Amino acid sequence: MGGAAGLFAVPESTGDLRVLMESLGRDAIPWILIGGGTNVVFSNGGYSGCVVRLGEEFSRVRREEETLVTAGAAAALPRLVTFAGREGLAGLECLAGIPGSVGGAVRMNAGTREGEIGDVVEQVQIFDGREPQWIPGQEMGFSYRRTILPEDRVILAVRLRLRAETGEAVRSRVAQQMERRRTSQPTGVASAGCWFRNPEGDSAGRLIDAAGMKGVRCGGAQVSPVHANFLVNTGGATAADFLALAGKVKETVHERFGISLEEEVRIIHG
Ligand SMILES: Cc1cc2nc3c(=O)[nH]c(=O)nc-3n(C[C@H](O)[C@H](O)[C@H](O)COP(=O)(O)OP(=O)(O)OC[C@H]3O[C@@H](n4cnc5c(N)ncnc54)[C@H](O)[C@@H]3O)c2cc1C
């Protein structure tokens, strides 16, 4: 859903990325980076600038030392989780079932109640238009689904410090996590995951449910009857349907509980 992009670029090397950034800068063309695009919603009008997605060359995953793994930002997060299970490396099981890329996960500090990716990030390789540089994970300022990385910085790769365990133990925790997800979240239906951030000390899903919003629709968009913080596409929903539904949810929760919900998904206008 959402409109078209003016331009779409897939740089395959740091050199490509540099040339791309220079030419977009020269022509004053705005750009936005996406990984898997699983946490962004483009409005019906689309995006007039350039959508940038790192190419295959940025998707390598390898074990560097006993417990150190380097993963390219374009690598799929589920692939990284599977890799760790196969290698007998613990620390990423909490991320099992989260779609998207490694870069997007680091930027969003993706996670669950069981933990988040920031817990195991040792270093992040950043591109700021000049030479790529490795910075310590602490400089990312990881907090609940947030980092303090400026918008115009591109994550190229990440070094993760994991713990050695038997592959069997790691894979069993991954399976448990997947099962938890299967029984508590909608499956087989398009969504952007949790739409709203959990307010301090509460859960957005609980509030939306308590406000009687489960199953409410706007066009093709619906508050999931399974998990109220998931807004799902029942078929043919437009971005405008989702934004209208999100607005209705916010208004109702505010009226009932005096709490202003904030989006976790990133909404891109224009
Ligand atoms: C079914 C479903 C379940 C989900 N469950 C969870 C969950 O349990 N926990 C959770 O935290 N999230 C969850 N999500 C949300 C989403 O999957 C995560 O936030 C994911 O980590 C986003 O990764 P992405 O590559 O798709 O990022 P995108 O959506 O493409 O981008 C997200 C943000 O990261 C930025 N970004 C992307 N790549 C880079 C890069 N290389 N460098 C710098 N910035 C970058 C983008 O500009 C954007 O601001 C779920 C989503 C779905 C659809």
50 shares its domain with 66: no
Residue 40: give the domain boundaries.
5-56
141 shares its domain with 69: yes
Residue 152 has φ and ψ, to the nearest 5°, of -90, 15
191 lines ligand 1 (CB under 6 A): yes
Confidence (pLDDT) at 194: 96
68 shares its domain with 46: no
Q: Taking the mean position of all CA atoms in its chain, how far away is CA 128?
A: 21
Active site residue 145: yes
pLDDT, tens only, 248-261:
999 999 999 999 99
Number of structural domains the chain divides into = 3
Looking up residue 224, the CATH number of its domain turns out to be 3.90.78.10
User: 181 lies in a domain?
Assistant: no
Closest to 110 (Cα-Cα) out of 125, 92, 127, 123:
92
Boundary (domain end) residue, out of 170, 203, 219? 170
40 lines ligand 1 (CB under 6 A): yes
163 shares its domain with 211: no
Active site residue 94: no
pLDDT, tens only, 77-135:
999 999 999 999 999 999 999 999 999 999 999 999 999 999 999 999 999 988 999 99
Chain mean pLDDT for the chain: 97
21 shares its domain with 92: no
User: 262 lies in a domain?
Assistant: no
HSE-up of 104 (CA within 13 Å, CB side)?
Answer: 25
User: Which one of 93, 116, 165, 264 is the catalytic residue?
Assistant: 264
> Quick one: which atom of ligand 1 is closest to the CA of 181?
8
Looking up residue 151, the CATH number of its domain turns out to be 3.30.465.10
Q: pLDDT band at 21, cuts 50/70/90?
A: very high
User: 264 lies in a domain?
Assistant: no
Active site residue 194: yes
CA of 38 to the centre of ligand 1 (A): 5
> Quick one: which atom of ligand 1 is closest to the CA of 191?
53
51 shares its domain with 65: no
The CB-based long-range contact list for 263-267 (8 Å cut-off, 24+ gap) reads 263/195, 263/196, 263/197, 264/39, 264/145, 264/193, 264/194, 264/195, 264/196, 264/197, 265/39, 265/40, 265/41, 265/192, 265/193, 265/195, 266/39, 266/40, 266/41, 267/40, 267/41, 267/43, 267/243
DSSP-based three-state secondary structure for 87: helix
pLDDT, tens only, 24-39:
999 999 999 999 999 9
d(CA 192, CA 116): 18
